[in-house]
Amino acid sequence: MSKQKIKVLRIINRFNLGGPTFNAAYLTKYLEPEFETLLVGGVKYEEEESSEFILDKLGITPIIIPEMKRSISFKDDKIAYQKIKKIIEEFQPDIVHTHASKAGTLGRLAASKCKVPIVIHTFHGHVFHSYFGKLKTLFYKTIERRLAKKSTKIIAISEIQKKELSEEHKICHKDKFTVIPLGFDLDRFQEKIEEKRKSFREKYQIKDDEIAIGIIGRLVPIKNHQLFINSINEVKQKTSKKIRAFIIGDGEEKGQLIDLLKRIDLDHVEWMKDQAPATVTLTSWIKDVDWANAGLDIVALTSLNEGTPVSLIEAQASNKPVVTTNVGGVENIVLKDETAFITESNNLDEFTIALLKLIEDEVLRDDMSKKGWEFVKKKFHYSRLANDMKNLYFSLLNNN
CB 211, CB 244: distance < 8 Å:
yes
Is residue 159 domain-shared with residue 216, that is, in the same domain? no
| pTM for this predicted structure | 0.76
Find, among 358, 343, 113, the residue nearest to 211 by Cα: 358
- pLDDT at position 69: 85
The alpha carbons of the chain give a radius of gyration, in whole angstroms, of: 21
Q: Is residue 261 part of a domain?
A: yes
Find, among 211, 243, 228, 257, the residue nearest to 369 by Cα: 211
Using pLDDT thresholds of 50, 70 and 90, give the confidence band for residue 125.
low
Is residue 110 domain-shared with residue 218, that is, in the same domain? no
Burial label for 167, CB within 10 Å (0-12, 13-18, 19+), is exposed
Model confidence over 139-187: pLDDT tens digits? 878 889 999 999 999 999 888 889 988 888 899 899 999 999 989 889 9
Model confidence over 93-118: pLDDT tens digits? 999 999 988 899 999 999 999 999 99
Number of domains forming the structure of the chain: 2
Quick check: 252 pLDDT over 60?
yes
Looking at every residue in the chain, the average pLDDT score rounds to: 91
Q: Is residue 76 part of a domain?
A: yes
Q: Is residue 1 part of a domain?
A: no
- pLDDT at position 156: 92
Is residue 83 domain-shared with residue 98, that is, in the same domain? yes
Is residue 91 domain-shared with residue 223, that is, in the same domain? no
Find, among 320, 325, 326, 324, the residue nearest to 298 by Cα: 320
Find, among 105, 77, 96, 79, the residue nearest to 39 by Cα: 96
Is residue 221 domain-shared with residue 357, that is, in the same domain? yes
Q: Is residue 234 part of a domain?
A: yes
- pLDDT at position 6: 96
What is the span of the domain harbouring residue 271?
A: 187-379
Q: Is residue 159 part of a domain?
A: yes
Is residue 316 domain-shared with residue 203, that is, in the same domain? yes
CA separation, residue 373 to residues 215, 249, 317, 335, 390 (Å): 19, 24, 4, 11, 25
248/130: higher pLDDT: 248
CA separation, residue 282 to residues 254, 322, 396 (Å): 9, 20, 47
Is residue 218 domain-shared with residue 278, that is, in the same domain? yes
Is residue 161 domain-shared with residue 200, that is, in the same domain? no
Is residue 253 domain-shared with residue 284, that is, in the same domain? yes
Average pLDDT over residues 282-290: 93
Measured CA to CA, the distance from residue 182 to residue 169 in angstroms comes to: 22
Using pLDDT thresholds of 50, 70 and 90, give the confidence band for residue 3.
low
DSSP string covering 228-286: HHHHHHHHHHH-SSEEEEEEEB--TTHHHHHHHHHHTT--EEE--TTPPP-SEEEEE--
DSSP string covering 325-363: E--TTHHHHS-BTTTEEEE-TT-HHHHHHHHHHHHH-HH
- pLDDT at position 128: 55
**Domain CATH for 231:** 3.40.50.2000
- pLDDT at position 126: 55
Using pLDDT thresholds of 50, 70 and 90, give the confidence band for residue 50.
low
Q: Is residue 316 part of a domain?
A: yes
* Cβ atoms within 10 Å, residue 133: 8
- pLDDT at position 367: 95
Measured CA to CA, the distance from residue 80 to residue 231 in angstroms comes to: 43
Is residue 374 domain-shared with residue 387, that is, in the same domain? no
Is residue 112 domain-shared with residue 167, that is, in the same domain? yes
Is residue 129 domain-shared with residue 276, that is, in the same domain? no
Q: Is residue 221 part of a domain?
A: yes
CB 319, CB 367: distance < 8 Å:
no
Helix extents (H) in the chain: 19-30, 52-58, 74-91, 101-113, 134-149, 159-163, 193-203, 225-238, 254-263, 289-295, 310-317, 330-333, 348-360, 362-370, 372-379, 382-399
